[in-house]
Chains A and B, each alone.
Chain A
Amino acid sequence: MSLLESIKEGRGRRLAKELWPQTAFAAVAAIVRDYGLRSLAQLDNDTVPSSAPPARERLSLFPLLSAGQYHLAQEIIRQYNNPYLGYARTPADIILSQRLFLAHPDLDPGILATTPLAEIWRQNTACQPEP
């Protein structure tokens, strides 16, 4: 690479827009609010209300929750803390994110951001060789 190309590439990298990091709190807050979660047990028992809205494509940058919802969100983050939690979009994704991280801890963030966790889980499970 010539010096000129190197300078251009460096500048391009520096000026490129960076996505706002998707925090685990923003993801969990959106789920708690959209699905009307009231307790941690709802996740464990899989008793999430069926009339839930479709998963959000974009999360709120600065989510705000009522006191009860905030405490529940913090409890979920403490219970299921893992680097993939920020990519969860449904209550099932919260549990799946932990399993996915334990099974495949080095997934590409680009794939995580663009593909549903369930789909990633299905693909990676299908690719595994039969024992």
Chain B
Amino acid sequence: MWQLLSGQTEILVQDGFLYLPLLFDAEIAAELAARGGEGRAAGDGGACSLEAANRRPDAAALLLRQDGRYFVQSLSLAALAEHYQTVFPEEYEKLRLALLQEVLSRLRTCTPVLAPELETILFVVLPYFLRTRRGKHRAKTEAGAFLAYVAESHTIPDQAADLLAAFQEQAATLREVLQWLTARQAANPDVPAPAGNGPAVRRWLRTVLQARIIAQEMAQVQEELAARQALADLPKEQLAILLTIAARGALEVDDVGFCGDAKRPGVYWVYKKTGEYVLQDYYGRPYLFPDCRVAVCSAGPFQPVVLDTYKHPLLRRCAPRQPICLTDYQAPQEFSARAIIQALQEGLNALYYGYNSRKRNGYNSLDGFGRHHSEVDFEDWRLPEDDPRILAGELEVKNR
């Protein structure tokens, strides 16, 4: 784009549009001859705002004539400025980096406390399983209820003071950056559309893009400051716990939790533990299944997996991170709290109630029928039928 505006290509600017020299082939030449050399002379039409020019459906304005040469209407300047970021993301990023060079290092230290995914996991998914909106933990906000619940079972860690100090320092830095951006915005008044040729358009475009970048950054910083202010209004111990969770990137409360993916930063596994449960085989013999974590990845696919090394009739073999065999489950395509919750519930239900001892469905059967197809043996998990924990009701036989 900058090459086009470098001045090597002759460009006319009129009514907020770029006009490029008309190129010819036989058909265009014939059409032009049929129109009798129609076309506005350059300079006609007077001043016109960019927005009005954008809306104009005037086909006759497509051609301009200057010194016997024809120019054809191309891009609108307003559209060029508006969509520049989408069409030329690399050039836009370069311009952004050059413009914000002075405050870039400070901006980079002030990353959001909670990424959007983490916020959803913390304040929507986990409270759903913990039922924090009920009972004594009821609070006006889901976040407050959840943090009050966590604060009860977790002690404030030692590094909380440092995290709180860093939090306040970052807020101060953000306010400084906002001041810098405001001053920079005031120094760049609105620039009218250029009337000149290539280099003038280039200067205008650069100025408009810089103004857009400053406005975008200001909006982001203001949003971040507002989010931080909302957090700062929380009770101090809750804020300390929240900052600790964000710094660690992991939490477990009452068999529900999340942890970061070791290989992919910013990606989390949300899990719920099954606890011990019992399944019975075709002959009614019980098998004790140990605790495991049924998890869903925040980066998708939203299919439940068992994080630990585990075996089950609905898992293919004995290995970690195996997807659970589900029938008729259409995994959602996009991240949402609903997608995570639904996948976790489907996974847990499949492990508890998905195996039918009479049909022996799944990859493996508990009783060893058709063992020649199976790599997995459940004999080591078999319990005596009169196991006291089953008789006392401590262990529930899920597929009875």
Residue-wise, chain B 4-31 has the 8 Å CB interface mask toward A (1 for contact) of 0000000000000000011111101100
Task: Point out the residues of chain A lying under 8 angstroms from B24, CB to CB.
Answer: 64-67, 69-70
Inter-chain contacts of B69 with A (CB < 8 A): 67
CA distance A38 to B165 in the complex (A): 73
A65 to B21 CA separation, bound complex (whole angstroms): 10
**Interface of B, helix, strand, loop or mixed by DSSP:** mixed
| Count of residues in A whose CB is under 8 Å from the partner chain | 11
Establish whether residues B70 and A62, one from each chain, have CB atoms under 8 Å apart when the complex forms: no
Q: Contact at A67–B22, with CB atoms within 8 Å?
A: yes
CB of A105 within 8 Å of the partner chain: no
A63 to B21, CA, bound (A): 15
Residue of A nearest to B29 (CB): A70
- From residue B63, how far is it (CB to closest CB) to chain A in Å? 13
Q: Whole-angstrom distance from the CB of A96 to the nearest CB of chain B?
A: 24
Closest chain A residue, CB of each to CB of B23: A64
In the bound assembly, the distance between CA atoms of A126 and B29 in angstroms comes to: 43
Residues of B within 8 A of A25 (CB): 25-26
Closest Cβ of chain B to A24, distance in Å, is 10
CB 8 Å contact bits of B143-180 with A (1 = contact, 0 = none): 00000000000000000000000000000000000000
Cα(A66)–Cα(B29), bound, Å: 11
B70 with A67: CB separation less than 8 A: yes
A65 contacts which chain B residues (CB < 8 A)?
23-25
Binary per-residue interface labels of chain A (44-76) against chain B in the complex, 1 for a CB within 8 Å, 0 otherwise? 000000000000000000111111011000100
Complex CA distance for A83 and B280, rounded to whole angstroms: 88
Output the least CB separation between A74 and chain B (Å): 8
- The residues of B that contact A64 with a CB separation of less than 8 Å are 23-25, 28
Q: Main SS of chain A's interface residues? A: helix
CA distance A69 to B22 in the complex (A): 12
Which residues of chain A are near B29, meaning CB under 8 Å?
70, 74
Residue of A63, A67, A69, A74 with most partner-chain B CB within 10 A:
A67
CA distance A62 to B23 in the complex (A): 11
Cβ-closest chain A residue relative to B32: A67
Contact residues in A for B21 (Cβ distance below 8 Å): 66-67
- A66–B25 Cα gap in the complex (Å)? 9
Q: How far is the CA of A67 from the CA of B25 in the complex (A)?
A: 9
Complex Cα–Cα for A67 and B21 (A): 9
Give the distance in Å from the alpha carbon of A74 to the alpha carbon of B25 in the complex: 10
Q: Would you give the shortest CB distance from B248 to chain A, in whole angstroms?
A: 61
> How far is B393's CA from A96's CA once the two chains are assembled, in angstroms?
102
Q: In the complex, what distance in Å separates the CA atom of A116 from the CA atom of B50? A: 53
The 0/1 profile, CB within 8 Å of A marked 1, for residues 32-70 of chain B is 000000000000000000000000000000000000011
- Cα(A25)–Cα(B29), bound, Å: 13
Given the complex of chains A and B, what is the CA–CA distance between A67 and B24 in angstroms? 6
Give CA–CA (A63, B70) in the complex, Å. Answer: 18
Which residue of chain A is the closest to B68 with respect to CB atoms?
A67
Closest to B69 in A: A67
Q: Is the CB of B25 within 8 A of A63?
A: yes
Shortest CB-to-CB span from B214 to chain A, Å, is 39
The chain B residue with its CB closest to the CB of A73 is B24
Question: What chain B residues lie within 8 Å of A69 (beta carbons)?
Answer: 24
B298 to chain A, nearest CB (A): 49
A65 to B23, CA, bound (A): 5
Tell me if B25 and A70 are in contact (CB < 8 A): yes
| A62 close to B22 (CB less than 8 A) | no
Q: How far is the CB of B35 from chain A (nearest CB, A)?
A: 15
For residue B70, which residue of chain A has the nearest CB? Answer: A67
Q: Please, how many angstroms separate the alpha-carbon atoms of A29 and B22 in the complex?
A: 16
Q: State in angstroms the CA–CA spacing of A70 and B23 once bound together.
A: 8
Which B residues lie within 8 Å of A63 (CB)? 25
A/B interface sample: 21 pairs, CB < 8 A: A25-B25, A25-B26, A29-B25, A62-B25, A63-B25, A64-B23, A64-B24, A64-B25, A64-B28, A65-B23, A65-B24, A65-B25, A66-B21, A66-B23, A66-B24, A67-B22, A67-B70, A69-B24, A70-B23, A70-B24, A74-B29
Nearest first, the 4 closest Cβ-Cβ pairs linking A and B are A70-B24, A64-B23, A65-B24, A64-B25
B interface residues (Cβ-Cβ under 8 A, vs A): 21-26, 28-29, 69-70
Q: Given A25-B25, A67-B69, A70-B23, 13 other A-B contacts at CB below 8 A?
A: A25-B26, A29-B25, A64-B23, A64-B25, A65-B23, A66-B23, A66-B24, A67-B21, A67-B24, A67-B70, A69-B24, A70-B24, A74-B29
